[in-house]
C-alpha cells in the first residue's frame, strides 16, 4: 500500500522537469511530472512504444500532436490519451505556476 498527495512538495522552479514514479508494474507506470517552463527540445518528438494517458492537475501546457495545426492548450482537468507511437511534443509549460501532470503509461 502507498499513499500521498500529487500537489505536495511541488517545487516553484526547476532546471529540468521533475519525474516521480508513483506506481510501477511490468505493464503500467504512473508518474507525477512537474514542469516550470520546460518544453521539448527543438525538433524533438516523443515516439513511445507504450500508450500514455496524461492529465494536467495544475498549471498549463501546450501539447502538439504530429499532424495537428497547432498545440492543444491543456489546463487543470484537461487530459489526453496518446496511443503508442503517437508522435507528440510539449511546446510550452506555464512559467507563472508549476505545471503538474499525472501520466499513466500502459501497454
Q: CA-to-CA distance for 28 and 50, rounded, in angstroms?
A: 9
Mean pLDDT of all residues belonging to the chain: 97
CATH class of 18-106: mainly beta
Nearest to 102 by CA among 47, 50, 34, 36: 34
| pLDDT band with cut points at 50, 70 and 90 for residue 32 | very high
What's the average model confidence in pLDDT over 89-105? 98
Residue 64: predicted pLDDT = 98
Write out pLDDT tens, residues 53-72: 999 999 999 999 999 999 99
Q: CA-to-CA distance for 41 and 104, rounded, in angstroms?
A: 22
Which three cell numbers mark 79? 487530459
Residue 20: predicted pLDDT = 97
Quick check: pTM over 0.85?
yes
Residue 86: predicted pLDDT = 98
Domain positions in the chain: 18-106
Amino acid at each position: 500500500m502507498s499513499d500521498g498527495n500529487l500537489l505536495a512538495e511541488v517545487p516553484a522552479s526547476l532546471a529540468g522537469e521533475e519525474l516521480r514514479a508513483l506506481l510501477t508494474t511490468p505493464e503500467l507506470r504512473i508518474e507525477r511530472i512537474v514542469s516550470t517552463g520546460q518544453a521539448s527540445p527543438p525538433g524533438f518528438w516523443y515516439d513511445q512504444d507504450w500508450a500514455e494517458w496524461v492529465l494536467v492537475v495544475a498549471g498549463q501546457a501546450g501539447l502538439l500532436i504530429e499532424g495537428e495545426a497547432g498545440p492543444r492548450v491543456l489546463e487543470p482537468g484537461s487530459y489526453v490519451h496518446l496511443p503508442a507511437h503517437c508522435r507528440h511534443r510539449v511546446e510550452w509549460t506555464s512559467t507563472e505556476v508549476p505545471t503538474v501532470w499525472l501520466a499513466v503509461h500502459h501497454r
